[in-house]
Amino acid sequence: MTAAAKGRIAEFLQPGKRVHLVGIGGVSMRPLGLVLHSMGVQVSGSDMNASASTDDLIAAGIPVAIGHSAENIRGADCLIRTAAARNDNPEISGAREMGIPVFERAQAWGYIMQSYRDAVCIAGTHGKTTTTSMVTHIFMAAGKDPTVMIGGYLPLLGAGHRVGSGDSIILESCEYCDSFLNFFPTTAVVLNVDKDHLDYFKNLEHIKSSFRAFAELTLPNGTIIANADDENTMDALERLPLLTFGTGERADVRGENFSEDFRTFDVTAKGEPYCHIELAVSGKHNAMNALAACAVAYSHGIDGKTAAEALATFTGAGRRMERKGEFGGAVVYDDYAHHPKELKATLETARSMGFHRVICAFQPHTYSRTNALFGDFVEQLKTVDIAVLAEIYAAREQNTVGISSRDLQRAIPGSVYCETLQDVTDTLRMLAQPGDLILTVGAGDIYKAGEALLK
């Protein structure tokens, strides 16, 4: 963000000003609306669909219009848009016609974080929500009273955000459309760098350069924390001063002596014992997330005992291998995985849980991602006993590539294609047997199919 843009947005995020949020029901727009509301800003918003998120906002006293219309923005001093909102959105085009300034969501978070002495920004292609949640547990246990923005629900907070009175802010920091380049981290965390969001990024090298630019935003005397086990991360951040975490010899904060399910292990920091971890969540990916959280704790002078005790209380964030209930003797879980590597981690965890069969109801997220990573999705979905394929969740896109989940179904033996979520629910009801693990997986609304099954 340029100095001029920073100055301009500062004029509007003040008590008494009216700010309208386009796409206010989104995972990081909703907490932004609530944080601005708590600052005394008059907040309104709109979203394409009513949801639990919009219900929460309305309950908090924030008016929300369902559907986008230029009428919704009359009287607003400025607009803040989600990255998914297109320029032809009637509220964005209407604002330009009326001379109302339009800012990006990340610009608003960037402005907010500058009022904190300590800004912990957690980035990476995978694991951001879980790691941000783990760091929040640690900072809360350490009495730091942080302000928090998470792209998901954290039971500890009863929400995906909190407004604290301490001098720390912890933010999940998204790379899509270079959003995190609007931030001012004192601690920049890079969990991993992988090929994703190819509707915006040209290729992996473009993604690497974006993560490097994010790390280089770290303020003087700040810390860049990076995954030493991830080749793309180390390549992207080459020659930058790093505090690393991982399982190999070169990691500064290192995990060792792992149990088979990766729930228990020892952590050393700069060669000295730091803590012994006993997690409530399984899988190597969660162990790596916990190591990243330990690296943040270590860099902030938080003792290992506090970090370990805090991590032991973390039972998962919403939609991250979240146990939803039982149906007909089958146990239903839900997960947000929407990239092949995330899907791989989720399915490996599922297979380690000892169920008779794993039935995965998967909803691909965006046409561009499904098309670009088609073979990788097929490879992972072939590993389950039965794959139930919901139609692709469009999110911000139009289907310009002519792809469908039917294409996945043709490539995955024994899989089932479902045109609607009701079809998914009906199929799961028919398939469920005692001893099964039923997974609903995806970043769209596939969770509704599992919830309907449980009802």
172 catalytic per annotation: yes
Identified catalytic residue from 54, 91, 104, 128: 128
306 catalytic per annotation: no
- How far apart CA 454 and CA 376 sit, in angstroms, is 30
129 catalytic per annotation: yes
- Both structure tokens of 178: 């270079």
At 344, the amino acid letter reads: K
Phi and psi at residue 137, to the nearest 5°? -55, -45
Identified catalytic residue from 91, 172, 175, 397: 172
- How far apart CA 209 and CA 449 sit, in angstroms, is 38
Phi and psi at residue 38, to the nearest 5°? -70, -20
Phi and psi at residue 392, to the nearest 5°? -60, 135
Q: Closest by alpha carbon to 225, among 317, 304, 118, 120? A: 120
Identified catalytic residue from 54, 82, 125, 129: 129
Q: Annotated catalytic sites, by residue?
A: 128-129, 172
